[in-house]
Amino acid sequence: MTERPVIMVGFVPVAVTSLAEFQPEGSVIVVDEPDVIRKRELRPKADEAAVVRELIAWEYQLEGAADAFYNAHPDLDPVAVAPLQEYATPFAARLAERYGLPTGGYGALRILRDKALLRKVSASAGILNPESVEVTSPDEVRAFMAAHPGPAVLKPANRQAALGTRILASADEIDEAWAETTAMDEGVMVPDRGIELRMLVERCVRGREYSVELLLERGRVLFGNVTGKDLYPGTRPVELGHLVPADIPGELDALLRSETERLLRSVGFGTGIAHCEWIVEDGRPYLVECAGRFPGDGIVDLIDRAYRIDLVRAFWTLMKGEPLPVQLPAKAPGAAAIRFLHTGEAGVVESVAGVEEARELPGVQLCSVTAEPGAEVRELRSSWDRIGSAVTEAATGAEAHAAAVRALETVEVKVRPARG
C-alpha cells in the first residue's frame, strides 16, 4: 500500500462517508476502544467501507495510550491524525505529536477535555466564567447553593452530549439530581471499564446560547462561524435546534468570535477545529465549554449548506500540513437549520406518520425519525434520547428556522406508556 493513511480516532459512520469522498480506497485507519468495537459491532461496518484500511482496537482513553500506540506502530507513517469524538481528543493530539504531524496540541486538548481545568485556565486570561467549583458529594452542592443564591447547574466535568447535566432550582432537588447523574450510563459508547466521574456545580447563567466554530492553522483563524442554539425547556439543557449562521447583530457575532480566539490562545491551541459554547447574559458572553473537535448535532452539515463549503475536506487538508486551495468565505450566502424531535414523554412508539409529507415542504432538505413502532422512547436526559430531526435551507435564518419547525409539526409520533 503506497498511500500514506489518515488515522481517525473514534468510529463515526458519517465521518467515514465524508472521507470516502476525497480519500482513496484503503487509506483510512480507524482506532477505537475494544469494548466499543464489540458493543457497537463496528468490524462489519469497517469491512463494508472501502475507504477503511484497518480498524485497530486500542484502549486509547488510558494514560500513556498514544505513546504506547506509537511504539507499537512506529512505521505506520500516517499523513494526518484527528479525533472524531470528544473522548478521543487528547489521544489524537498526542499521537499526532509523536508522528510529527499538525495538531491542536496535547497540552491544549487536555485542558479543553477537562471542564474544571478549562475554567481555571480561561479565567486567568480574563474569559468570563460562571462561579464554579468541583464537588464530590450532595453536601458540597448544598454549600455552594447556600453561598450563591439562585439556580445552579450540576454537571460532569468530563462527559459529552449534555449527559448528566441538570439545572437545580432549589436545594430540595440536590439529592435526587446527584443520584441520577452519578448513575448515568453511556452504554455502547464507552468501554466496560467505565470513565471516572468528576462533578461541577456552577451558577446558572441566564441568556441565549451560541457556539462558535473556528478552523485554525497554527493558531491563525482561517474560517469562523457563530451558531444559534435553542434548548428544550426544563431542567436538562438538551439542544432542540441550531441555526447557521446565528441571526444576531454584527457586534455580538464579532464579540463571540473574538472571545473564542482569546480562549484558544489561552490554552495554546494550534491546528485543527474548535467548537466553543457560550451563554450571553446581559450582553456579556460566559463560557460554557469548548471542544477541540468537530461539533456534533449536524452543525458541520449546516455550515457546509450555509457557506457552500466542504469543511471536512478543508480540515483534513490542514491536518495533512497542506495549504487550503481556496480562501474560505467570511460570510454565509444563505442559512441552514436543524431541529430535533422528542415526544415529550417516555414510552413505546405505536406509530410514526407525516415524515414523507414533511420532506416535501419548502426548504426541507432532510427529515427522519429514528424510532420505529415498538421502539422505546426514553425520558429526555441527553442528546442521545432525541428520536428524529429536520434539516432546512433558506435565504435567511428566520426562514430556515420556520421551515424546520413546520417540518417537525407535520410529523406525528404516537407513544403509549411502557409497561411497568
From 389, 372, 196, select the one nearest 297 (Cα to Cα). Answer: 389
For the stretch 336-360, pLDDT in tens is 999 999 988 889 999 999 999 999 9
Architecture (CATH level 2) of domain 6-101: 3-Layer(aba) Sandwich (3.40)
The residue count for the chain: 420
Per-residue pLDDT band at 234 (split at 50, 70, 90): confident
Region 74-80 average pLDDT: 96
Q: Name which CATH class applies to 105-125+207-333.
A: alpha beta
Place of cell 506509537: 70
Question: β-strand 152-156 against 208-217: which pairing, if any?
Answer: unpaired
Measured CA to CA, the distance from residue 27 to residue 43 in angstroms comes to 16
Region 180-207 average pLDDT: 78
Instruction: In the chain, list all ranges with CATH 3.30.1490.20.
Output: 131-203
Q: What is the DSSP letter of 173?
A: G
CATH of 334-420, picked from 3.40.190.290, 1.25.40.10, 3.30.470.20, 3.30.540.10, is 3.30.470.20
Q: Is the pLDDT of residue 240 over 70?
A: yes
Q: Is the pLDDT of residue 211 over 60?
A: yes
Instruction: In the chain, list all ranges with CATH 3.40.50.20.
Output: 6-101
CB atoms within 10 A of CB 67: 14
Complete edge-to-edge strand list for the sheet that includes strand 52-57:
52-57, 28-32, 6-9, 80-83
Q: Does domain 131-203 fall into CATH 3.30.1490.20?
A: yes
For the stretch 97-137, pLDDT in tens is 999 999 999 999 999 999 999 999 999 999 999 999 999 99
Measured CA to CA, the distance from residue 232 to residue 332 in angstroms comes to 27
From 352, 361, 304, select the one nearest 328 (Cα to Cα). Answer: 304
% of the chain at pLDDT higher than 90:
83
Residue 203, strand partner residues: 152
For the stretch 156-182, pLDDT in tens is 876 554 566 889 999 999 999 888 877
Question: β-strand 272-281 against 208-217: which pairing, if any?
Answer: antiparallel
Cα 82 off chain centre by: 15
Q: Where are the beta strands (DSSP E) in 69-191?
A: 80-83, 132-135, 152-156, 166-168
Measured CA to CA, the distance from residue 77 to residue 60 in angstroms comes to 19
Instruction: List CB contacts of 80: < 8 A, sequence separation 6 or more.
Output: 6, 7, 96, 101, 102, 316, 319, 320, 321
329 upstream amide cis, omega within 30 of 0 = no
Measured CA to CA, the distance from residue 94 to residue 99 in angstroms comes to 9
Instruction: In the chain, list all ranges with CATH 3.30.470.20.
Output: 105-125+207-333, 334-420
% of the chain at pLDDT higher than 70:
95
